[in-house]
Amino acid sequence: MKITGYKRGDGRFGARNLVGVIPSVVCAHDVAQAVVSQVQGSVGFFHHQGCCQLPPDLDRVTETLIGLGRSPNLGAVLVVCLGCEGTDHKRLIEAVAQTGKPVAAIYIQELGGVAKAIAAGIDAARKLALAISGQQREEADIAEIIMAIKCGASDSTSGLASNCVIGYVADKLVDLGATVLFGETTEFLGAEHILARRAVSPAVEKKIYEIVARMEARAKSLGCDMRRGQPTPGNIAGGLSSIEEKSLGAIVKSGTRPIQGVLEYQESALGLKGLWIKDTPGREPEILTGMACSGAQVMLFSTGRGAPQGFPSMPVVKICGNPETYEHMENDMDLNAGVIITGQKSIEEVGEEAFAKLCRVFSGEKTKNEAIHYFKAIDIYTLGPVI
Amino acid sequence: MEAPVALKVHDDDNVATIFSSGLTAGGEVKVLDKKGNAAELTLISDLPFGHKAALCPINAGESIIKYGEQIGVARKAIRRGEHVHIHNLDSMRGRGDLSREETA
């Protein structure tokens, strides 16, 4: 099977051809939002970071925004700056431009305020949208895919149906020379020994235990039982009793292939092959950003209770393992893996359907969350306090 | 009517997951394992879709096993056919409350 995508200056293929409007700081949101609402084919990344944070977090925010901007799914980028933020906006603009895509920037303070900045931003984004609008899709190999995977609003069908389907696709993509990223370090707790056995080297094995210990220490730092935070009330209502049970079901989606290494939250996966872990929390706004900033062009997302959200620049395919939820929330679910629970289809059969769906979505078919623009709540995972 | 189905995911498991709605105490379920073997289980609790029932008596402090792995520890004695969930299963991970007690 072949896919089609937009070939970029750096040789990567994009599944979409969007103008990314990136606020360098939370205070530039309103201007960026006004621009996105006016310019067809543009998407905004409305995170809440970029100022009054400790330097490691500011570096992380800069790196994450660079990764989002470099994503092959963006044909052009407009950076919206306030002018006094902690993010390194100059480096952001330069690093995105290095990919060869057109980049523009506006500064709200320099332009004389919000209304003037909105006018300048719309004009800049309009020009970028027109400049890239003629680009045509070209045929590309499956190996060009960087697929992110994730489960959210899980219940006990997730580990037995939808995550198995994603695991099937993950193995298939790795075998075809593509790249697969999985994260949700919190959901390794109680299952890390199984993942560690799949590490390609003792160093990677050690790193897996390290990121789990780091995440667990963070969860324990407030001196309470983390249940209700993880698993969530929805997970618990769906039958998941502990993080261990949730984790054992969650890791199924990583398939069975060797784990090549562990990436930090803001790190790029461009140029890497095979299955990789990305150290992220489980919550959607942060992990989806972490995956998109790696360069992932598509995501398979498993759910049991019905998580509808996507991501501005990365199509997210919802695979529902719970047959009752699928029936009830079909408007937001792209694929029914509940037929595995009801015994109508095998994991392999639904796995092939998911693989075909992934290829079609990469090549332009819209996901349900893209069609309804349900992807605006995003954020960047930071470690220190806001000060 | 055929009995509602519960899945025992791994041979070592002492719980099975119910995939039927509205099951109540006294109900019979057919517990299937991966090889397709079936066993009868009488529920002694009401069980929502996707929740777990004990396949054998589990003593307080014993491991609760699903996927062949520990998913928690029994807080109190659990009887065969009883609902196993947060009211009688203690997680062993992310327990900041336990480490606080240890250091106190």
Give the pLDDT score at A203: 98
CA A35 to CA A127: how far, in whole Å? Answer: 12
User: Does the residue A378 lie in any domain?
Assistant: no
User: Does the residue A300 lie in any domain?
Assistant: yes
Q: Delineate the domains of chain B, giving CATH numbers in brackets.
A: 5-103 (2.30.130.110)
Give the pLDDT score at B98: 86
User: Does the residue A101 lie in any domain?
Assistant: yes
Mean pLDDT, range A353-359, rounded to an integer = 98
CA A42 to CA A27: how far, in whole Å? Answer: 19
Give the pLDDT score at B102: 55
A106 and A209 housed in the same domain: no
Structure tokens at A332: 């937001």
Structure tokens at A125: 């984004």
A192 and A304 housed in the same domain: yes
Do A156 and B48 lie within an 8 Å CB cutoff?
no
Q: Compare all CA atoms of chain A with the CA of B67 and give the residue at the minimum distance.
A: A248
Residue A265: pLDDT above 70? yes
Domain range for A224 is: 143-371
Give the pLDDT score at B101: 58
User: Does the residue A182 lie in any domain?
Assistant: yes
A161 and A267 housed in the same domain: yes
Q: What are the chain B neighbours of A322 within 8 Å (beta carbons)?
A: 50
Mean pLDDT, range A363-386, rounded to an integer = 95
**Beta pairing class for A316-320 and A335-336:** parallel
Count of structural domains within chain A: 2
Q: Which amino acid belongs to residue A145?
A: I
CATH of the domain at A94: 3.40.50
Which DSSP letter does residue B16 get? E
Residue B51 Cα, gap to closest chain A Cα (Å):
4
Q: What are the chain A neighbours of B71 within 8 Å (beta carbons)?
A: 190, 241-242, 244-245, 248
A90 and A170 housed in the same domain: no
Find the CB nearest B17 among A156, A194, A219.
A156
Residue A317 Cα, gap to closest chain B Cα (Å):
23
Give the pLDDT score at B99: 72
User: Does the residue A382 lie in any domain?
Assistant: no
Residue A222: pLDDT above 60? yes
A108 and A238 housed in the same domain: no
**Beta pairing class for B69-74 and B63-66:** antiparallel
User: Does the residue A5 lie in any domain?
Assistant: no
Do A230 and B69 lie within an 8 Å CB cutoff?
no
Mean pLDDT, range A140-144, rounded to an integer = 98
A213 and A108 housed in the same domain: no
Residue A248: pLDDT above 60? yes
A152 and A122 housed in the same domain: no
- Per-residue pLDDT band for B2 (boundaries 50, 70, 90) equals low
A114 and A147 housed in the same domain: no
B-interface mutation test, from A156, A241, A253, most B Cβ less than 10 A away: A241
User: Does the residue A147 lie in any domain?
Assistant: yes
> How do residues A33-81 score in pLDDT, each as one tens digit?
999 999 999 999 999 999 999 999 999 999 999 999 999 999 999 999 9
Overall residue count recorded for chain B in this entry: 104
Cα B81–chain centre separation = 9
A153 and A239 housed in the same domain: yes
Residue B1: pLDDT above 50? no
* Contacts of residue A57, Cβ cutoff 8 Å, sequence gap at least 6: A49, A382, A383, A384
Which of A107, A132, A157 is the last residue in one of the domains?
Answer: A132
Mean pLDDT, range B78-104, rounded to an integer = 86
A50 and A165 housed in the same domain: no
Q: Compare all CA atoms of chain B with the CA of A189 and give the residue at the minimum distance.
A: B93
Give the pLDDT score at B104: 46
A261 and A364 housed in the same domain: yes
User: Does the residue A1 lie in any domain?
Assistant: no
Q: Which percentage of chain A shows pLDDT scores above 90?
A: 95
A279 and A339 housed in the same domain: yes
